[in-house]
């Protein structure tokens, strides 16, 4: 590789102690720090934080009806296994980042769901599993059913199906990871700091 | 216990109930069931008789049917010693005046397990069980108006107070 404008001319050759590569740039002309300092990667703090969050989603089970069997029990058991994505279930909302609302949300259950959502610490995410949690599903017109859990708490991902297969839920979980990777949390922090000032 | 014994126990029970309640319709079927239909006024007597004299110690369920002009309350019990099932039912109608609900004597004193089942029938059908120790709604949310399994129930969802206001 030829570098037009020179670059560092560290002593390199058979006799020198430190082997510095001649060209610090890659084929696109970008500076590659790793070429100078092997074992060091440079990235933004935002990416590292998002990467950590997206790959250690601890989820809270909120099974309300049939979808809980498919999505949470079958999906969490050995045949499909959420652990592959770094997702573990916690039975306490205070240790959870993500809540699966799986099943039919009734008016009577609504205050409990809201309380548990509020007990989760931020950042918190919600996946609505199945037709019932997304929109009320087959019971939309019932006197006792909330037509979609998004009527009472914010929802990040909707997984359709009655019930959705575990694969569909994994697709939803991967979509949530993609969403977290794009998150601009530092902007949120700035906005909060601005609001406080 | 063989099926023949269960069926003969059922026939025996049917005869005993017929002797005690001549006005009731009693049948004993070939699969070990006794079916009794009584007047609403003798509901509690029949329940006590089934428990005390025929050994029906297991309360299975109580439910109701809305026929538009009247309700049928149905109870099912089982004897754990003879294996016989008994289904007993009665018709109740809405009363006028200052007590418009259909009323029936509670069988909670006979089978304590009937407590929540009567509450459920009260909640969903609006049947008043007199003598029930704690007749409150059990399934519908707090502040609910109406009895949803009645045929004439209309949902007043839009102006009903909600426990969590919708966003
Ligand atoms: S969406 Fe279907 S499977 Fe899921 S809770 Fe509703 S009725 Fe059950």
Residues of chain A above pLDDT 90, percent: 24
pLDDT value of position B106: 92
- Does the C-beta of A116 come closer than 6 Å to ligand 1? no
Helix axes A185-196, A45-54, angle to 10 degrees: 110
Q: Domain coordinates of chain A in residue numbers? A: 1-42, 56-183
d(CA B150, CA B65): 9
Locate the ligand 1 atom nearest the alpha carbon of residue A138 and give its number: 7
| Residues B104/B40, Cβ–Cβ less than 8 Å | yes
pLDDT value of position A3: 47
Residue A126 pLDDT > 90? yes
| Of residues A128, A117, A125, A126, the one with CA closest to residue A160 | A128
pLDDT value of position B98: 65
A30, two tokens: 């970008």
Residue A4 pLDDT > 90? no
d(CA A54, CA A46): 12
- With the most atoms of ligand 1 within 8 angstroms of its CB, the residue from A64, A65, A138, A139 to mutate is A65
Chain A hits for B153, CB-CB cut-off 8 Å, are 143
Identify the segments of chain B with pLDDT beneath 50: none
Lowest mean pLDDT across A18-32, A69-83, A119-133, B31-45:
A18-32
- Does the C-beta of A101 come closer than 6 Å to ligand 1? no
Residue B163 and residue A143: Cβ atoms within 8 Å?
A: no
A190 pLDDT band, cuts 50/70/90, is confident
Residue A26 pLDDT > 80? no
d(CA A97, CA B17): 62
Of B153, B162, B167, the CB nearest to A107: B162
Locate the ligand 1 atom nearest the alpha carbon of residue A65 and give its number: 5
Residues of chain A above pLDDT 70, percent: 79
pLDDT value of position A8: 53
Residue A158 pLDDT > 70? yes
Q: By the CB < 8 Å criterion, does A74 face chain B?
A: no
Chain B hits for A106, CB-CB cut-off 8 Å, are 141
CATH 3.40.50.12280 correct for A56-183: yes
Q: By the CB < 8 Å criterion, does A150 face chain B?
A: yes
pLDDT value of position B107: 93
Rg (CA), chain A: 24
> Is B73 exposed, middle or buried (CB count within 10 Å of its CB: 0-12, 13-18, 19+)?
buried
A105-117 residue pLDDT tens? 998 888 899 999 9
Mean of the pLDDT values across residues A60-87?
Answer: 86
> Of residues B154 and A178, which shows the higher confidence score?
A178
CATH topology assigned to domain B3-130: Beta Polymerase; domain 2 (3.30.460)
Chain B hits for A114, CB-CB cut-off 8 Å, are 164
Mean pLDDT of chain A: 82
B89-114 residue pLDDT tens? 999 988 766 667 888 999 999 999 99
């Amino acid at each position: 590789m030829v570098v037009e404008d020179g670059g560092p001319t560290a002593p390199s050759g058979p006799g020198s102690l430190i082997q510095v590569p001649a060209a610090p740039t890659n084929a696109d002309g970008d500076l590659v720090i790793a070429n100078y300092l092997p074992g060091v990667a440079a990235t933004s703090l935002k990416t590292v934080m998002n990467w950590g969050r997206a790959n250690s989603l601890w989820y809270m089970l909120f099974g309300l009806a049939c979808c809980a069997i498919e999505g949470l029990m079958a999906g969490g058991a050995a045949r499909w296994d959420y652990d592959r994505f770094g997702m573990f279930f916690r039975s306490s909302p205070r240790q959870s980042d993500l809540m699966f609302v799986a099943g039919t949300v009734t008016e009577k259950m609504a205050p409990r769901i809201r309380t548990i959502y509020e007990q989760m610490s931020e950042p918190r995410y919600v996946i609505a599993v199945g037709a019932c949690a997304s929109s009320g599903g087959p019971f939309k017109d019932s006197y006792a059913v909330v037509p979609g859990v998004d009527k009472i708490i914010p929802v990040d991902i909707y997984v359709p199906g009655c019930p959705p297969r575990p694969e569909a839920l994994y697709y939803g979980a991967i979509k949530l990871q993609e969403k977290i990777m794009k998150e601009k949390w530092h902007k949120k922090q700035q906005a909060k700091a601005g609001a406080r000032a | 216990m063989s099926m023949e014994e269960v069926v003969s126990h059922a026939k025996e029970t049917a005869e005993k109930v017929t002797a005690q309640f001549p006005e009731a319709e009693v049948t004993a079927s070939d699969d070990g069931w006794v079916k009794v239909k009584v007047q609403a006024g003798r509901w509690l007597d029949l329940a006590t008789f089934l428990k005390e004299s025929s050994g029906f110690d297991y309360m299975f369920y109580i439910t109701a049917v809305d026929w538009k002009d009247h309700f049928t309350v149905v109870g099912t019990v089982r004897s754990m010693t003879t294996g016989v099932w008994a289904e007993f039912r009665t018709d109740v109608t809405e009363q006028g005046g200052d007590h418009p609900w259909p009323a029936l004597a509670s069988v909670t004193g006979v089978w304590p397990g009937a407590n929540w089942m009567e509450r459920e029938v009260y909640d969903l059908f609006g049947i008043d069980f007199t003598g029930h120790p704690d007749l409150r709604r059990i399934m519908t949310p707090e502040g609910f108006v109406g009895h949803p399994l009645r045929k004439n129930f209309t949902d007043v969802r839009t102006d009903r107070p909600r426990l969590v206001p919708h966003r």
